[in-house]
């Protein structure tokens, strides 16, 4: 079948049909991205925290801008080559375009990876700490700052991966599972942990259940916890629920029929509330239900849970799968192996709302009061800030909030390795002093292995009660990262989609080129229009997310 108006223009529109189609699609895309840009403006104006200006590494974003602009040029060239019937040139330019999209997504991937592995923490006083957490070592292994434990010294979770030092430690003397919802991996982890600590987890009391009506199964008190036991109890419990529900329904139907007979001529709703299950009639046929299963832990043993899995109290805990713990909450600090930034901007904002001077608020912050190593770094920062303030004042300018209240990783590394009497800003740079980053660090952030040799980053243990909110630099951290991931993620999906379509023209277009080259040229033009639109969106995304 021949498709009309894919090569020749329609008389009334003057255009070939696919072109109108792509413009209609781009129009809907304009409104889609327009909505997200509006959301960005709204979130920024309405932010109740200091918006993190110029917080992303510029170099990867800059390269990505070059890459997209370059690919926009090459895709036009590829189209022009087809128009001039030069298949070889088309292949080259389209190949470059697709390679560019690969570079773009590669860099984006690195950027996302770094964010998702970088820890952020907001303290109760609104000071912010950034860095990397340490990993839990096995009980009995002692590690000093700067020591490198062997891989075999690290504690592992049920999946065998290392556990970041951000866990709730709870010494449980009793564990009560929900008999339907228990999370198998967590049960296995508890069994393994108990074995490691030479403790036993045993059924607290004898359970007499039925696997089917009249068929007794008995679970003796003192039976060790394993998944088979839980599964058997779960089956008996569910069988009982099904059996009992059926009995009640059947009985209710009988009661209803009787009530209908007893109330002739009455409407249903007039007697419905008096119709109830006759418990006495079915009692001897009900099977025992067991909604929860209690176990004793002997001796009481410390288990660790990810903060999002547990709601803890001093003497109890509730896991997300409905498991209830009794015992004692232990110290559960969050331990940063490397603190690579501290930021007081949010704290200052909160202090100013209460008419407290920033200096007083900062010097009273938990970070500076309780951590001498950070206090030392802060004192050096103050020396540098005085110099910067003086230098800027000669031009009638003042330091930014970021200069004043944030110590980024490069500044941190500088202060940590420079004695206070040698702290000095570089004249003419109008910036706080910082170490130079090498090329790899421009993409991946600080290279801890190298920087550690000079003790560039302090260690920090934060008690649980000081923590307001902790997260990786993921959408949850704040609305800036939420909109950053939403917009760049959506844009990235467009890059992938566009590249797939263009790659299809490149690798599967030869046949069409030989039979109907103008059709292929029109297809490439339409694909190119989409590609330019993707470039156009990035032209705005780059400055607003990276430079503003």
Partner 1 sequence: MADSPEAIQKSLRLYKLIGAVLFVGTVVTVLVATQPFLDIGGHGFDVWDMVLGLAIASVKATLVAAIFMHLNHEKRLIYWVFGCALVFAVIMAVLIGLAKWDPIHYNGFNDGVPGSETAK
Minimum CB separation of residue 294 from partner 1 in Å reads 31
In the chain the first and final C-alpha atoms are separated, in Å, by 53
Bridge partner residues of 467 (DSSP): 123
- Mapped onto helix, strand or coil, the DSSP state of residue 18 is helix
The answer to whether 365 and 375 are in contact (CB under 8 A) is: no
Rounded CA gap, 71 and 76, in Å?
A: 9
DSSP assigned state of 6: S
138-145: long-range contacts (C-beta < 8 A, 24 or more apart)? 139/196, 139/197, 145/459
Pairing of strands 334-343, 460-462: antiparallel
Structure tokens at 168: 């709730």
Minimum CB separation of residue 126 from partner 1 in Å reads 8
Q: How far is CA 53 from CA 123, 189, 442, in A?
A: 21, 43, 17
Structure tokens at 415: 């202060």
Rounded CA gap, 417 and 381, in Å?
A: 12
The answer to whether 6 and 512 are in contact (CB under 8 A) is: no
| Of 146 and 428, CB closest to partner 1 | 428
Rounded CA gap, 238 and 507, in Å?
A: 56
Q: Which residues bind partner 1 (CB under 8 A)?
A: 13-15, 19-20, 23-24, 26-28, 30-31, 33-35, 37-39, 41-42, 45-48, 53-54, 58, 62, 65-66, 69-70, 72-73, 76-77, 80, 83-85, 350, 392, 395, 397-400, 402-403, 428-431, 479, 528-529, 532-533, 535-536, 539-540, 542-544, 547-548
Q: Residue 329 is inside which H or E element, if any?
A: strand 324-329
- Mapped onto helix, strand or coil, the DSSP state of residue 22 is helix
Q: Residue 467 is inside which H or E element, if any?
A: strand 467-472
Helices of type H across 283-408? 345-353, 358-363, 366-370, 372-393, 401-405
Minimum CB separation of residue 160 from partner 1 in Å reads 36
Q: Residue 82 is inside which H or E element, if any?
A: helix 58-83
Rounded CA gap, 91 and 7, in Å?
A: 21
The answer to whether 337 and 133 are in contact (CB under 8 A) is: yes
Rounded CA gap, 5 and 83, in Å?
A: 18
């Amino acid at each position: 079948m021949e498709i009309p108006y894919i090569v020749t223009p329609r008389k009334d529109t003057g255009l070939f049909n696919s072109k109108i189609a792509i413009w209609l699609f781009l129009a809907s895309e304009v409104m889609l991205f327009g909505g997200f840009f509006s959301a960005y403006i709204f979130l920024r104006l309405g932010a109740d925290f200091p918006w993190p200006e110029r917080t992303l590494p510029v170099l990867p974003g800059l390269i990505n801008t070059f890459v997209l602009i370059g690919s926009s040029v090459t895709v036009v060239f590829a189209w022009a080559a087809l128009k001039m019937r030069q298949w070889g040139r088309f292949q080259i330019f389209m190949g470059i375009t697709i390679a560019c999209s690969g570079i773009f997504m590669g860099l984006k991937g690195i950027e996302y990876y770094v964010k998702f592995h970088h820890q952020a923490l907001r303290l109760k006083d609104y000071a912010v700490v950034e860095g990397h957490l340490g990993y839990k070592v096995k009980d009995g292994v002692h590690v000093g700052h700067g020591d490198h434990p062997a891989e075999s010294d690290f504690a592992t979770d049920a999946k065998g991966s290392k556990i970041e030092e951000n866990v709730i430690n709870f010494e449980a003397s009793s564990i009560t599972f929900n008999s339907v919802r228990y999370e198998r991996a967590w049960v296995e982890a508890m069994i393994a942990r108990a074995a490691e600590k030479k403790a036993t987890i045993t059924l607290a009391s004898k359970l007499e259940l039925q696997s089917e009506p009249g068929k007794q199964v008995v679970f003796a008190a003192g039976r060790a916890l394993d998944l088979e036991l839980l599964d058997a109890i779960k089956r008996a419990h569910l069988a009982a629920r099904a059996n009992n529900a059926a009995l009640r329904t059947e009985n209710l139907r009988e009661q209803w029929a009787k009530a209908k007979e007893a109330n002739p001529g009455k409407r249903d709703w007039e007697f419905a509330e008096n119709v109830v299950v006759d418990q006495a009639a079915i009692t001897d046929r009900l099977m025992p239900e067991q909604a929860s299963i209690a176990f004793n832990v002997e001796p009481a043993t410390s288990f660790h849970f990810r903060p999002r899995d547990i709601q803890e109290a001093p003497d109890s805990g509730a896991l997300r799968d409905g498991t209830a713990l009794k015992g004692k909450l232990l110290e559960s600090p969050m331990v940063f192996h490397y603190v690579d930034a501290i930021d007081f901007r949010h704290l200052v904002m909160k202090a100013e709302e209460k008419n407290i001077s920033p200096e007083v608020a900062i010097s009273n912050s938990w970070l500076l009061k309780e951590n001498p190593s950070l206090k030392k770094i802060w004192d050096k920062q103050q020396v540098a800030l005085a110099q910067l303030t003086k230098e800027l004042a000669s031009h009638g300018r003042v330091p930014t909030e970021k200069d004043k209240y944030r110590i980024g990783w490069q500044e941190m590394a500088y202060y940590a390795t420079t004695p206070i009497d040698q702290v000095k800003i570089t004249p003419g740079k109008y910036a706080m002093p910082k170490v130079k980053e090498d090329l790899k660090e421009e993409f991946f952030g600080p290279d801890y292995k190298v920087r550690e040799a000079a003790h560039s980053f302090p260690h920090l243990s934060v008690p649980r009660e000081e923590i307001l909110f902790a997260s990786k630099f993921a959408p949850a951290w704040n609305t800036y990262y939420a909109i950053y991931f939403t917009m760049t993620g959506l844009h990235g999906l467009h890059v992938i989609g566009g590249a797939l379509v263009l790659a299809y023209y490149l690798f599967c277009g030869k046949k069409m080129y030989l039979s109907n080259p103008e059709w292929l040229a029109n297809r490439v033009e339409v694909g190119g229009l989409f590609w330019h639109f993707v470039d156009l969106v990035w032209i705005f995304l780059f400055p607003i997310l990276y430079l503003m």
